[in-house]
């Protein structure tokens, strides 16, 4: 596994912790250069995927606190200072994450809803019939959307009850999908690796029971969504 | 630990970014990144979001 820009991985041990880093040229680490890179999708994608592959590789053989994208330390000394200063915090977080993985669960509204009450159509007033039909269509759409939200809230509550921890991400935009399905749930659950299959079975069971929402599972991920350290300057 | 274990598909960029950016890619046009642990970069993600949108619509 290589780092960002295919740079070799360097391990920086400090007091039982190991920072997994790769070097980049000084000029590439300047704020303007980083900002420019983060404004082009291709370079963000390359950076994000390289970052993810390293995190994933470490997670396979150990327990990892993923740092955020584009976390740059200007020299080795500042990196070691950070490890020293936050040692206890990192240690506690690593202990909490040991033997656990993250599972992503996304719910999409699929437009299904309970059948409407019997529709009385065909009177001698076409204008009124048309308006009533439009109103019924609109009501059905609103009901389907609300059903999807309700169902996804029930799924989230059920899964949160069996997971070690849980987080909600922002819903992803509807135009990211071919089918225009609305993302009504974008959640992450921290689960025991040993109980992973049981958890996935629970996801499938609750999804099968849910009306109006289609569920997608991602992962297992390294515990990206569960590193929340106390301070505002997250890793 | 790969997506194939569950989904059998390539990992979607947006799912990776949800995790790597932590603030959510979608609704926040401004994001604060920690550089060098102390300095902060305020990054406009508007361009990025537009790019993702265009990319995935094809």
Q: pTM for the complete prediction? A: 0.81
CB < 8 Å to A176, chain B: 14, 52-53, 56
The C-alpha of A39 sits at a distance from chain B's nearest C-alpha, in angstroms, of 6
* Phi and psi angles of residue A102, each rounded to the nearest 5 degrees, phi first: -105, 135
* Whole-complex ipTM: 0.81
The 10s digit of each residue's pLDDT in A8-37 is 999 999 999 999 999 988 888 777 787 778
* Phi and psi angles of residue A64, each rounded to the nearest 5 degrees, phi first: -135, 145
Does the structure show a pLDDT above 70 at B48? no
Helix, strand or coil, per DSSP, at residue B1: coil
Q: Which residues contact B9 (CB under 8 A, 6 or more apart)?
A: B3
The C-alpha of A140 sits at a distance from chain B's nearest C-alpha, in angstroms, of 27
The 10s digit of each residue's pLDDT in A116-175 is 555 565 667 888 889 998 998 888 888 888 999 999 999 999 999 999 999 998 888 776
Confidence of residue B26 (pLDDT cuts 50, 70, 90): very low
Does the structure show a pLDDT above 80 at A112? no
Contact A194, A133 (CB under 8 A): no
Q: Residue A31 and residue A197: Cα distance in Å, rounded?
A: 44
Of A97, A124, A115, which is closest to residue A188 (Cα–Cα)? A97
* Nearest by CB: A38 against B11, B38, B43: B43
Tokens found for residue B21: 């950016």
């Amino acid at each position: 596994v290589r780092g960002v820009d295919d740079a070799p991985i360097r391990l920086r041990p400090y007091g039982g912790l190991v920072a997994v880093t790769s070097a980049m040229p000084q000029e590439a680490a300047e704020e303007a250069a980083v900002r420019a890179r983060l404004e082009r999708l291709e370079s963000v994608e390359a950076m994000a995927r390289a970052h993810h592959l390293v995190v994933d590789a470490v997670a396979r053989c150990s327990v990892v606190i993923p740092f955020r994208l584009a976390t740059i330390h200007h020299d080795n000394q500042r990196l070691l200072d950070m490890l020293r200063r936050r040692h206890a915090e990192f240690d506690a977080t690593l202990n909490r994450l040991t033997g656990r993985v993250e599972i992503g669960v996304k719910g999409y509204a699929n437009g299904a809803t309970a059948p409407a009450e019997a529709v009385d159509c065909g009177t001698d007033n076409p204008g009124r019939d048309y308006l009533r039909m439009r109103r019924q269509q609109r009501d059905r759409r609103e009901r389907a959307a609300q059903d999807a939200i309700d169902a996804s809230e029930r799924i989230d509550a059920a899964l949160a009850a069996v997971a070690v921890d849980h987080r909600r991400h922002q819903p992803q935009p509807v135009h990211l999908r071919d089918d225009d399905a609305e993302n009504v749930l974008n959640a992450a659950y921290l689960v025991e690796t040993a109980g992973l299959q049981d958890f996935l079975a629970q996801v499938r069971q609750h999804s099968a029971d849910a009306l109006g929402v289609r569920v997608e599972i991602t992962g297992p991920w390294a515990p990206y969504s569960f590193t929340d350290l106390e301070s505002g300057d997250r890793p | 630990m790969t997506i194939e274990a569950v989904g059998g598909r390539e990992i979607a960029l947006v799912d990776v970014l949800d995790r790597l950016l932590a603030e959510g890619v979608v609704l926040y046009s401004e994001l604060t990144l920690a550089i060098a642990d102390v300095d902060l970069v305020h990054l406009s993600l508007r361009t990025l979001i537009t790019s993702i949108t265009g990319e995935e619509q094809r």
